[in-house]
Amino acid sequence: MSRSRSKTSKGTKDHSGELIESFQKDCLIRGLTPESTVRYISTMRIFNGFLQERGVDLLEVEGSVLRDWLEYLRIERKVSQKTLENYFTEISSFYEFALYEGLISANPVAAVRKRYIRRYKNSDEGHTHKLISEEEMGRLINATMDIRDRAIITLFAKTGIRRRELIALDVDDVDFVEQSITLKPTAKRTNRTVFFDGETAIILRRWIRAREGRNPNDSKALFLSSKGDRLERTGISHMVVKAAERMGFHDSNSDRMEDHFSPHCCRHWFTTHLRRAGMPREFIQELRGDVRKEAIDIYDHIDKKELRESYLANVPQLGI
């Protein structure tokens, strides 16, 4: 693979540390969240350690090396398909950065991802996310004993927000009068207002009362860890997965995505059950914060009052 030699690498035995540090700055400039940036850099350090053991320069990686890396992850480390996908996404992002900086002539990851990381669907319906019924979601929430965890799963199911959006929530973002939540701005979301119903309001109020005794650091975060800090991605995922596992909705021994239940499955659940209830597609898109691409959608402004009324009329009632 041909490339242009980086200025920092001239006369330097190992310039990988500087490259990864520059990539970290690039991630922050591009607006990646601090959590995502940490994950990207962690992956790059793991990958660079693999390369150093084999005497391969970070900027001289070819397809054969990436195939060895894939084999190492699958056979020796036995990582899941999802983790594989994340690793190759993060490594590809680094090489896109290197390409932009003129350090390489092509991204070596693209062809390997296309051939070896592609996911093939196992069913004619094409479902890849676990979808449970309204009754099952109610049982999942009611069986979750800790009021914080119950509030988290309820909020995921009733609003369809993403995990990082939930993590970023502060107590002041919740409006109990309008029964709405104002989300922090992110690159993926267009509409920052989501609504919640009476069932959710009761559970949120109970959590906020309990939260007062779990907040030694006087944090503004809506959801706190056991130490009183803002919850992190892994903590939320672990909690949701364990709750689903207890109910038989998650099989950690299966390689099929449709046998796994994660926080993102709640977003899938939210979308599907609102659609089945008859909510207009453009309203669902607005609540999800999706980009509306059709010309008629761009010029069709959605009234917040009408959106809220439609949400309350169609959001599933779970008996919680």
Contact 111, 71 (CB under 8 A): no
Contact 105, 1 (CB under 8 A): yes
Residue 22 has pLDDT above 80, yes or no: yes
Measure Cα distances from 140 to 82, 135, 150, 152, 243 in Å: 24, 9, 9, 12, 7
Residue 9 has pLDDT above 70, yes or no: no
Contact 130, 243 (CB under 8 A): no
pLDDT over 70 percentage in the chain: 89
Could you tell me where the beta strands, DSSP code E, fall in the chain? Answer: 174-175, 180-182, 193-195
Band of residue 14 on the pLDDT scale cut at 50, 70, 90: low
Residue 6 has pLDDT above 60, yes or no: no
What number is the average pLDDT over the span 137-151? 96
With CA atoms as reference, report the closest residue to 29 among 164, 182, 187, 184. Answer: 187
Band of residue 82 on the pLDDT scale cut at 50, 70, 90: confident
Residues 6+ apart with CB under 8 A from 250: 130, 241, 244, 259, 260, 261
Q: Which two three-digit tokens encode residue 131? A: 């979808």
Question: Tell me, what's the pLDDT at 236?
Answer: 93
How far is residue 2's CA from residue 194's CA, in Å, rounded to a whole number?
49
Tens digit of pLDDT for each residue in 263-298?
999 999 999 999 999 999 889 999 999 875 554 444
Residue 19 has pLDDT above 90, yes or no: yes
Residue 147 has pLDDT above 70, yes or no: yes
Q: Which two three-digit tokens encode residue 82? A: 């999802």
Residue 122 has pLDDT above 80, yes or no: no
Band of residue 247 on the pLDDT scale cut at 50, 70, 90: very high
The answer to pTM > 0.75 is: no
What number is the average pLDDT over the span 93-121? 84
- Mean pLDDT, the chain, rounded, equals 86
Band of residue 124 on the pLDDT scale cut at 50, 70, 90: very low
Contact 194, 180 (CB under 8 A): yes
Question: Tell me, what's the pLDDT at 187?
Answer: 79
- Rounded to 10 degrees, what is the CA torsion of 261, 267, 271, 272? 0
Tens digit of pLDDT for each residue in 158-168?
999 999 999 99
Count of helices and strands (H, E) across the chain: 14, 3
Band of residue 300 on the pLDDT scale cut at 50, 70, 90: low
Tens digit of pLDDT for each residue in 24-42?
999 989 887 788 889 999 9
With CA atoms as reference, report the closest residue to 150 among 197, 206, 193. Answer: 206
Question: Tell me, what's the pLDDT at 254?
Answer: 80
Residue 83 has pLDDT above 70, yes or no: yes
Q: Out of 22-31, 56-65, 120-129, 159-168, which region has the weakest mean confidence (pLDDT)?
A: 120-129
Question: Tell me, what's the pLDDT at 32?
Answer: 79
With CA atoms as reference, report the closest residue to 249 among 137, 123, 81, 134. Answer: 137
Band of residue 8 on the pLDDT scale cut at 50, 70, 90: very low
Contact 291, 282 (CB under 8 A): no
